[in-house]
Structure 1
Amino acid sequence: MNFQQAVQTCFRKYVDFSGRASRPEYWWFVLAYVILSFVARFINDYLYLIVVLAFLLPLLAAGARRLHDVGKTAWLLLIGLVPVVGGLVLLYFTVQPSQTESNAYGPPPQPQPAGV
């Protein structure tokens, strides 16, 4: 999955908290958010607020699907509310490799063909 496919997929599934998201899908989408929010912050505070609000639900949904991909419940996203340690725990979970077999959250995500 490339950058453009990941962003399109995450915005298409912006309120889909079920299923699974591969590592590339999640991390490309996080990169898109970081770049856009960084650029928007320098342009205008209101534009930054719009970018943050536009990405809020898609980031939560992608995070939930990413946790599902490693066999964890999406409720673990709440660990991120714990200062410092929570973010590190979430980082650890999101960098883990996908479970190759089906789990309680569905079959593993299928790789996208390059031309789609």
Structure 2
Amino acid sequence: MNWRTPMRSYLNAIRKYATFSGRASRTEYWLFALFYFIFGAVAVFLDALLFDAVGEDPGPLTILFVIAHILPGFAVLSRRLHDTDHSAWWMLLYLTGIGIFILLIFALIRGTEGPNRYGVDPHGEGSVMPAAAHGHPQGGGGADIVAELERLSSLKERGAISEDEYAAMKARALGTGNPA
């Protein structure tokens, strides 16, 4: 794995900065957290270097960095909770202090396999359901595939799945295996 793959997960979380629906894999969530920590440390270092901001008062770069990441952080945590089949309302546990540990456990556990009430599996496992699961009769042929492709296109447009996830699921729906 090269550096682009982890960075892509971070940028995907930033692109979905206000998307509170859908699901986020553990990888997406934890790579967002890792890059948040790294870039935050760089902001603190630059504040110390450029603005002599050391100690209790954060510098202007750190403040801007934190403000810019509040919404994406809540959004990716919301989607991570959805992946474990929990409502985003669980984020209110932050207010209790001890709830932070519960949210940490939710962020660490494996998400539900296949689709759940919040969307398709971000790993793609079981995300393309057979036509019968969508209420289509078996043997419908092309109509089932067209309906599945329309569903996948809608998920991509809503931001519930990424471009790469869309390509993989489309290839599976078409029966071509792995996308080229």
Fold equivalence (TM over 0.5)? yes
| 1:18 partner SS | coil
What does 1:15-54 align with in structure 2 at a 5 Å threshold? 15-44=18-47, 45-54=59-68
Q: 2:104 aligns with which of 74, 91, 103?
A: 91
**Greater radius of gyration (CA):** 2
The CA distance in 2 between the partners of 1:13 and 1:28, in whole Å, is 14
Matched, 1:72 2:72: no
Residue type of the alignment partner of 2:94: G
- Deviation string for 1:23-82 (max 9, x for gaps)? 000000011111111221222110000110111100000000000000000011110121
The CA distance in 2 between the partners of 1:103 and 1:16, in whole Å, is 17
The CA distance in 1 between the partners of 2:34 and 2:14, in whole Å, is 14
The CA distance in 2 between the partners of 1:110 and 1:92, in whole Å, is 20
Structure 1, unaligned runs of 5 or more: none
* Alignment size in residue pairs: 112
- Deviation string for 1:8-29 (max 9, x for gaps)? 1111111000000000000000
Q: Give the TM-score normalised by structure 1.
A: 0.90
Structure 2, unaligned runs of 5 or more: 48-58, 125-163, 166-180
Q: Give the TM-score normalised by structure 2.
A: 0.59
Task: Provide the alpha-carbon RMSD of the alignment.
Answer: 1.6
The CA distance in 2 between the partners of 1:110 and 1:97, in whole Å, is 11
